[in-house]
Protein backbone atom coordinates (compact mmCIF):
# COMPACT_ATOMS: atom_id res chain seq x y z
CA UNK A 1 0.00 0.00 0.00
CA UNK A 2 1.17 3.59 -0.59
CA UNK A 3 3.22 5.11 2.23
CA UNK A 4 0.60 7.83 2.77
CA UNK A 5 -2.20 5.32 3.47
CA UNK A 6 -3.72 6.02 6.87
CA UNK A 7 -4.54 3.35 9.44
CA UNK A 8 -8.28 3.96 8.98
CA UNK A 9 -8.13 3.57 5.21
CA UNK A 10 -5.92 0.52 5.56
CA UNK A 11 -8.55 -0.99 7.84
CA UNK A 12 -11.26 -0.40 5.25
CA UNK A 13 -9.19 -2.19 2.64
CA UNK A 14 -8.41 -5.10 4.93
CA UNK A 15 -12.03 -5.76 5.82
CA UNK A 16 -13.33 -5.24 2.27
CA UNK A 17 -14.19 -7.97 -0.23
CA UNK A 18 -11.31 -9.90 -1.74
CA UNK A 19 -10.96 -12.55 -4.40
CA UNK A 20 -10.31 -16.16 -3.42
CA UNK A 21 -8.10 -18.54 -5.37
CA UNK A 22 -7.07 -22.16 -5.26
CA UNK A 23 -3.78 -22.78 -6.99
CA UNK A 24 -2.14 -25.94 -8.23
CA UNK A 25 1.37 -24.70 -7.54
CA UNK A 26 3.46 -22.40 -5.41
CA UNK A 27 3.14 -18.64 -5.60
CA UNK A 28 6.36 -17.46 -7.14
CA UNK A 29 5.25 -14.31 -8.94
CA UNK A 30 3.11 -12.50 -6.43
CA UNK A 31 4.71 -9.12 -6.06
CA UNK A 32 4.22 -7.37 -9.33
CA UNK A 33 1.51 -6.36 -11.76
CA UNK A 34 4.04 -6.41 -14.56
CA UNK A 35 5.01 -9.52 -16.56
CA UNK A 36 8.31 -11.08 -15.61
CA UNK A 37 10.71 -12.78 -18.00
CA UNK A 38 12.45 -14.60 -15.16
CA UNK A 39 12.14 -18.35 -14.68
CA UNK A 40 9.21 -19.74 -12.75
CA UNK A 41 10.60 -23.07 -11.58
CA UNK A 42 8.45 -23.69 -8.54
CA UNK A 43 10.55 -26.71 -7.56
CA UNK A 44 13.29 -24.35 -6.39
CA UNK A 45 10.94 -22.57 -3.99
CA UNK A 46 12.74 -20.37 -1.44
CA UNK A 47 16.06 -20.85 -3.22
CA UNK A 48 14.86 -19.68 -6.61
CA UNK A 49 15.26 -16.09 -7.81
CA UNK A 50 12.32 -13.96 -6.74
CA UNK A 51 9.85 -13.07 -9.45
CA UNK A 52 9.97 -9.32 -8.79
CA UNK A 53 13.21 -8.32 -7.13
CA UNK A 54 13.06 -4.70 -8.24
CA UNK A 55 13.36 -2.70 -5.05
CA UNK A 56 10.15 -1.04 -3.96
CA UNK A 57 8.72 0.45 -0.81
CA UNK A 58 10.50 -0.80 2.32
CA UNK A 59 8.33 -3.34 4.17
CA UNK A 60 8.81 -4.70 7.68
CA UNK A 61 7.27 -8.15 8.01
CA UNK A 62 6.63 -9.66 11.41
CA UNK A 63 6.92 -13.45 11.38
CA UNK A 64 5.48 -15.57 14.19
CA UNK A 65 6.29 -19.16 13.37
CA UNK A 66 6.22 -22.45 15.22
CA UNK A 67 8.72 -24.06 17.54
CA UNK A 68 10.99 -26.12 15.30
CA UNK A 69 10.41 -29.48 16.99
CA UNK A 70 9.60 -31.32 13.76
CA UNK A 71 11.32 -31.40 10.38
CA UNK A 72 8.42 -29.76 8.56
CA UNK A 73 8.04 -27.00 11.16
CA UNK A 74 11.76 -26.25 11.04
CA UNK A 75 11.49 -26.03 7.25
CA UNK A 76 8.64 -23.52 7.60
CA UNK A 77 10.87 -21.19 9.62
CA UNK A 78 13.84 -21.65 7.27
CA UNK A 79 11.78 -20.99 4.15
CA UNK A 80 10.37 -17.76 5.55
CA UNK A 81 13.74 -16.43 6.68
CA UNK A 82 15.58 -17.39 3.50
CA UNK A 83 12.89 -15.89 1.29
CA UNK A 84 12.97 -12.58 3.15
CA UNK A 85 16.73 -12.35 2.53
CA UNK A 86 16.04 -12.33 -1.22
CA UNK A 87 14.41 -8.92 -0.99
CA UNK A 88 16.44 -5.76 -0.47
CA UNK A 89 13.24 -3.95 0.53
CA UNK A 90 12.11 -6.43 3.22
CA UNK A 91 13.06 -6.41 6.90
CA UNK A 92 11.99 -9.52 8.79
CA UNK A 93 11.14 -9.34 12.48
CA UNK A 94 10.99 -13.00 13.50
CA UNK A 95 9.95 -14.34 16.88
CA UNK A 96 11.60 -17.24 18.67
CA UNK A 97 8.83 -19.57 17.60
CA UNK A 98 6.52 -21.29 20.05
CA UNK A 99 3.96 -24.09 20.30
CA UNK A 100 2.60 -22.52 23.49
CA UNK A 101 -0.45 -20.45 22.58
CA UNK A 102 -0.07 -17.89 25.38
CA UNK A 103 3.59 -17.32 24.53
CA UNK A 104 2.83 -16.93 20.82
CA UNK A 105 0.01 -14.49 21.51
CA UNK A 106 2.49 -12.40 23.50
CA UNK A 107 4.99 -12.55 20.63
CA UNK A 108 2.39 -11.40 18.10
CA UNK A 109 1.29 -8.57 20.39
CA UNK A 110 4.91 -7.44 20.60
CA UNK A 111 5.09 -7.34 16.80
CA UNK A 112 1.84 -5.35 16.71
CA UNK A 113 3.27 -2.87 19.21
CA UNK A 114 6.36 -2.54 17.01
CA UNK A 115 3.98 -1.44 14.24
CA UNK A 116 5.28 -3.86 11.62
CA UNK A 117 3.74 -3.35 8.18
CA UNK A 118 2.47 -6.91 7.71
CA UNK A 119 2.25 -10.04 9.86
CA UNK A 120 2.81 -13.65 8.80
CA UNK A 121 1.50 -16.04 11.44
CA UNK A 122 1.52 -19.82 11.61
CA UNK A 123 -0.51 -20.22 14.80
CA UNK A 124 0.21 -22.96 17.31
CA UNK A 125 -3.57 -23.13 17.57
CA UNK A 126 -5.71 -21.29 15.03
CA UNK A 127 -8.71 -20.97 17.33
CA UNK A 128 -6.67 -19.69 20.27
CA UNK A 129 -4.86 -17.05 18.19
CA UNK A 130 -7.90 -15.76 16.33
CA UNK A 131 -8.35 -12.80 18.69
CA UNK A 132 -4.79 -11.59 18.26
CA UNK A 133 -5.19 -11.89 14.49
CA UNK A 134 -8.29 -9.71 14.75
CA UNK A 135 -6.35 -7.26 16.92
CA UNK A 136 -3.69 -6.88 14.23
CA UNK A 137 -6.22 -6.43 11.45
CA UNK A 138 -8.12 -3.81 13.45
CA UNK A 139 -4.85 -1.98 14.02
CA UNK A 140 -4.43 -1.76 10.24
CA UNK A 141 -1.77 -4.47 10.04
CA UNK A 142 -2.69 -7.05 7.37
CA UNK A 143 -2.20 -10.67 8.38
CA UNK A 144 -1.09 -13.55 6.19
CA UNK A 145 -2.41 -16.62 7.99
CA UNK A 146 -0.13 -19.56 7.27
CA UNK A 147 -1.59 -23.08 7.15
CA UNK A 148 -3.35 -23.49 10.52
CA UNK A 149 -6.37 -21.34 9.93
CA UNK A 150 -7.98 -18.80 12.26
CA UNK A 151 -11.65 -19.23 13.19
CA UNK A 152 -12.81 -16.29 11.11
CA UNK A 153 -11.59 -14.73 7.85
CA UNK A 154 -11.86 -11.37 9.61
CA UNK A 155 -8.64 -12.31 11.44
CA UNK A 156 -6.57 -12.46 8.25
CA UNK A 157 -6.26 -10.74 4.89
CA UNK A 158 -4.92 -13.82 3.14
CA UNK A 159 -4.67 -17.50 4.04
CA UNK A 160 -2.10 -19.76 2.38
CA UNK A 161 -1.69 -23.41 3.22
CA UNK A 162 -1.65 -27.04 2.23
CA UNK A 163 -4.50 -29.34 1.25
CA UNK A 164 -4.84 -32.16 3.77
CA UNK A 165 -7.85 -33.71 2.04
CA UNK A 166 -6.03 -33.42 -1.29
CA UNK A 167 -3.00 -35.10 0.25
CA UNK A 168 -5.07 -38.18 1.09
CA UNK A 169 -6.75 -38.03 -2.31
CA UNK A 170 -3.41 -37.97 -4.14
CA UNK A 171 -2.04 -40.84 -2.05
CA UNK A 172 -5.16 -42.94 -2.60
CA UNK A 173 -5.25 -42.34 -6.34
CA UNK A 174 -1.54 -43.14 -6.72
CA UNK A 175 -1.89 -46.41 -4.81
CA UNK A 176 -5.13 -47.17 -6.65
CA UNK A 177 -3.48 -46.83 -10.03
CA UNK A 178 -0.62 -49.08 -8.96
CA UNK A 179 -3.00 -51.79 -7.72
CA UNK A 180 -5.93 -51.40 -10.12
CA UNK A 181 -5.23 -54.70 -11.86
CA UNK A 182 -4.72 -56.73 -8.69
CA UNK A 183 -7.67 -58.73 -7.39
CA UNK A 184 -8.57 -58.35 -3.72
CA UNK A 185 -5.79 -55.85 -3.05
CA UNK A 186 -5.24 -54.81 0.56
CA UNK A 187 -3.92 -51.49 1.87
CA UNK A 188 -3.11 -50.21 5.35
CA UNK A 189 -2.75 -46.68 6.73
CA UNK A 190 -0.32 -45.19 9.23
CA UNK A 191 -2.03 -41.95 10.19
CA UNK A 192 -0.88 -38.97 12.28
CA UNK A 193 -2.46 -37.69 15.50
CA UNK A 194 -6.08 -38.79 15.41
CA UNK A 195 -7.64 -35.86 17.28
CA UNK A 196 -6.25 -33.36 14.76
CA UNK A 197 -8.59 -32.26 11.99
CA UNK A 198 -5.74 -32.46 9.47
CA UNK A 199 -5.33 -36.17 10.19
CA UNK A 200 -9.04 -36.73 9.76
CA UNK A 201 -9.00 -34.83 6.47
CA UNK A 202 -6.07 -36.87 5.15
CA UNK A 203 -7.85 -40.10 6.01
CA UNK A 204 -11.10 -38.93 4.40
CA UNK A 205 -9.30 -37.99 1.18
CA UNK A 206 -7.57 -41.37 1.11
CA UNK A 207 -10.82 -43.27 1.71
CA UNK A 208 -12.67 -41.25 -0.93
CA UNK A 209 -9.98 -41.98 -3.51
CA UNK A 210 -10.11 -45.71 -2.79
CA UNK A 211 -13.86 -45.71 -3.56
CA UNK A 212 -12.83 -45.43 -7.22
CA UNK A 213 -11.03 -48.78 -6.98
CA UNK A 214 -13.51 -51.48 -5.90
CA UNK A 215 -10.80 -54.16 -5.99
CA UNK A 216 -8.96 -52.47 -3.09
CA UNK A 217 -9.88 -52.76 0.58
CA UNK A 218 -8.32 -50.92 3.51
CA UNK A 219 -7.76 -53.62 6.12
CA UNK A 220 -5.98 -51.74 8.93
CA UNK A 221 -5.20 -48.29 10.28
CA UNK A 222 -3.00 -47.08 13.14
CA UNK A 223 -2.50 -43.52 14.37
CA UNK A 224 1.02 -42.44 15.32
CA UNK A 225 2.27 -39.10 16.66
CA UNK A 226 4.38 -37.58 13.89
CA UNK A 227 7.60 -38.81 15.54
CA UNK A 228 10.22 -41.36 14.50
CA UNK A 229 9.63 -43.37 17.68
CA UNK A 230 5.85 -43.53 17.28
CA UNK A 231 6.19 -44.41 13.61
CA UNK A 232 8.43 -47.34 14.43
CA UNK A 233 6.21 -48.62 17.27
CA UNK A 234 2.92 -48.34 15.40
CA UNK A 235 4.35 -49.78 12.21
CA UNK A 236 5.65 -52.78 14.14
CA UNK A 237 2.14 -53.38 15.44
CA UNK A 238 0.69 -53.17 11.93
CA UNK A 239 3.25 -55.61 10.54
CA UNK A 240 2.56 -58.12 13.28
CA UNK A 241 -1.18 -57.91 12.74
CA UNK A 242 -1.11 -57.90 8.93
CA UNK A 243 0.87 -60.76 7.47
CA UNK A 244 0.04 -59.81 3.92
CA UNK A 245 -0.95 -56.52 2.24
CA UNK A 246 -0.10 -54.64 -0.93
CA UNK A 247 0.37 -50.98 -0.02
CA UNK A 248 0.90 -48.64 2.91
CA UNK A 249 0.14 -44.96 3.12
CA UNK A 250 2.04 -43.12 5.84
CA UNK A 251 0.80 -39.59 6.58
CA UNK A 252 4.14 -38.10 7.62
CA UNK A 253 7.72 -38.59 6.45
CA UNK A 254 9.20 -37.92 9.90
CA UNK A 255 7.28 -40.81 11.44
CA UNK A 256 8.03 -42.64 8.19
CA UNK A 257 11.70 -42.86 9.20
CA UNK A 258 10.60 -45.01 12.12
CA UNK A 259 8.17 -46.95 9.96
CA UNK A 260 10.94 -47.85 7.52
CA UNK A 261 13.09 -49.05 10.44
CA UNK A 262 10.31 -51.36 11.58
CA UNK A 263 9.80 -52.64 8.03
CA UNK A 264 13.51 -53.35 7.62
CA UNK A 265 13.69 -55.10 11.00
CA UNK A 266 10.74 -57.28 10.01
CA UNK A 267 12.41 -58.16 6.72
CA UNK A 268 9.34 -57.13 4.73
CA UNK A 269 9.50 -55.96 1.13
CA UNK A 270 6.25 -57.38 -0.24
CA UNK A 271 4.35 -54.08 -0.54
CA UNK A 272 4.79 -50.49 -1.73
CA UNK A 273 4.81 -47.49 0.61
CA UNK A 274 3.72 -43.90 -0.03
CA UNK A 275 4.84 -41.21 2.40
CA UNK A 276 3.62 -37.72 3.15
CA UNK A 277 4.99 -34.14 3.39
CA UNK A 278 8.17 -34.35 1.29
CA UNK A 279 11.18 -34.86 3.58
CA UNK A 280 14.61 -34.95 1.96
CA UNK A 281 15.28 -38.41 3.42
CA UNK A 282 12.11 -39.71 1.76
CA UNK A 283 13.07 -38.25 -1.60
CA UNK A 284 16.55 -39.69 -1.34
CA UNK A 285 15.10 -43.13 -0.58
CA UNK A 286 12.75 -42.82 -3.57
CA UNK A 287 15.66 -41.86 -5.80
CA UNK A 288 17.80 -44.74 -4.53
CA UNK A 289 14.99 -47.21 -5.13
CA UNK A 290 16.28 -49.61 -2.48
CA UNK A 291 13.29 -49.70 -0.11
CA UNK A 292 9.52 -50.16 -0.15
CA UNK A 293 9.10 -46.35 -0.21
CA UNK A 294 8.14 -45.52 -3.79
CA UNK A 295 6.51 -42.09 -3.48
CA UNK A 296 5.65 -39.23 -1.14
CA UNK A 297 2.78 -36.73 -1.33
CA UNK A 298 3.83 -33.13 -0.81
CA UNK A 299 2.63 -30.82 1.92
CA UNK A 300 5.13 -28.16 0.93
CA UNK A 301 6.82 -26.05 3.65
CA UNK A 302 7.73 -23.72 0.79
CA UNK A 303 4.33 -22.17 1.55
CA UNK A 304 6.22 -20.05 4.10
CA UNK A 305 8.37 -18.57 1.33
CA UNK A 306 5.23 -17.78 -0.63
CA UNK A 307 3.70 -16.22 2.50
CA UNK A 308 6.63 -13.77 2.57
CA UNK A 309 5.98 -12.97 -1.10
CA UNK A 310 2.33 -12.29 -0.28
CA UNK A 311 3.22 -10.17 2.73
CA UNK A 312 5.60 -8.06 0.67
CA UNK A 313 2.90 -7.61 -1.98
CA UNK A 314 0.46 -6.47 0.72
CA UNK A 315 2.95 -4.04 2.15
CA UNK A 316 3.65 -2.57 -1.27
CA UNK A 317 0.04 -2.55 -2.48
CA UNK A 318 0.66 -4.96 -5.35
CA UNK A 319 -1.19 -7.90 -6.81
CA UNK A 320 -0.02 -11.15 -8.40
CA UNK A 321 1.72 -11.18 -11.76
CA UNK A 322 -0.43 -12.88 -14.38
CA UNK A 323 -3.73 -12.04 -12.68
CA UNK A 324 -5.98 -9.10 -13.51
CA UNK A 325 -6.83 -8.19 -9.91
CA UNK A 326 -5.01 -5.34 -8.20
CA UNK A 327 -5.12 -7.17 -4.87
CA UNK A 328 -3.67 -10.49 -3.78
CA UNK A 329 -6.23 -13.30 -3.30
CA UNK A 330 -7.88 -14.14 0.01
CA UNK A 331 -7.11 -17.86 -0.11
CA UNK A 332 -4.28 -19.85 -1.69
CA UNK A 333 -4.42 -23.66 -1.40
CA UNK A 334 -1.31 -25.52 -2.52
CA UNK A 335 -1.51 -28.68 -4.58
CA UNK A 336 -0.55 -32.06 -3.08
CA UNK A 337 1.76 -33.36 -5.80
CA UNK A 338 3.00 -36.95 -5.80
CA UNK A 339 6.77 -37.34 -5.99
CA UNK A 340 8.05 -40.67 -7.28
CA UNK A 341 11.01 -42.02 -9.25
CA UNK A 342 9.89 -40.18 -12.39
CA UNK A 343 9.98 -36.64 -10.96
CA UNK A 344 12.03 -36.81 -7.76
CA UNK A 345 14.90 -34.85 -9.34
CA UNK A 346 12.56 -31.92 -9.93
CA UNK A 347 11.30 -31.82 -6.34
CA UNK A 348 14.50 -32.76 -4.50
CA UNK A 349 15.40 -29.08 -3.80
CA UNK A 350 12.18 -28.70 -1.78
CA UNK A 351 12.95 -31.66 0.50
CA UNK A 352 13.35 -30.73 4.16
CA UNK A 353 15.59 -32.28 6.79
pLDDT value, residue 55: 84
CATH 3.40.50.2300 applies to domain 164-298: yes
pLDDT value, residue 323: 87
pLDDT value, residue 137: 98
For residues 332 and 152, give the distance between their C-alpha atoms in angstroms, rounded to a whole number: 16
What are 120-129's pLDDT values in tens digits?
Answer: 999 999 999 9
Asked if 283 contacts 344 with a C-beta cutoff of 8 angstroms, the reply is yes
What are 297-340's pLDDT values in tens digits?
Answer: 999 999 999 999 999 999 999 998 888 999 999 999 999 999 99
Q: The whole model's pTM is what?
A: 0.83
Average pLDDT of the segment spanning 346-352: 94
Q: Sheet containing 143-146: give its strands across.
A: 90-94, 59-64, 118-121, 143-146, 158-161, 331-333
Domain boundaries, the chain: 7-162+301-336, 164-298
What are 151-176's pLDDT values in tens digits?
Answer: 999 999 999 999 999 999 999 999 99
Asked if 172 contacts 205 with a C-beta cutoff of 8 angstroms, the reply is yes
For residues 218 and 206, give the distance between their C-alpha atoms in angstroms, rounded to a whole number: 10
31 has a pLDDT exceeding 80: no
b (16+ CB within 10 A) / e for 87-113: beebebbbbebbeebeebbebbeebbe
Q: Which CATH class is domain 7-162+301-336?
A: alpha beta
What are 180-226's pLDDT values in tens digits?
Answer: 999 999 999 999 999 999 999 999 999 999 999 999 999 999 999 99
What are 75-111's pLDDT values in tens digits?
Answer: 999 999 999 999 999 999 999 888 899 999 999 999 9
For residues 43 and 108, give the distance between their C-alpha atoms in angstroms, rounded to a whole number: 31
The reply to whether domains 7-162+301-336 and 164-298 share a CATH topology is yes
Amino acid sequence: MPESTSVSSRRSLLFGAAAAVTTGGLLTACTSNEPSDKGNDSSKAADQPVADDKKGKQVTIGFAGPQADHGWLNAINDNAKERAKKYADVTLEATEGSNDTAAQIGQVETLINKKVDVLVILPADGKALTQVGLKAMRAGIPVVNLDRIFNTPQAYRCWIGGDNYGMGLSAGNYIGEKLKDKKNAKVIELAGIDNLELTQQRTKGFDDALKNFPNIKKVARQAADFTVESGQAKMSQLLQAQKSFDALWNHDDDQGVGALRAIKQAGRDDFLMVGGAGALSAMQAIEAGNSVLKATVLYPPTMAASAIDLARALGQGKGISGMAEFEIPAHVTLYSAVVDKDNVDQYMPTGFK
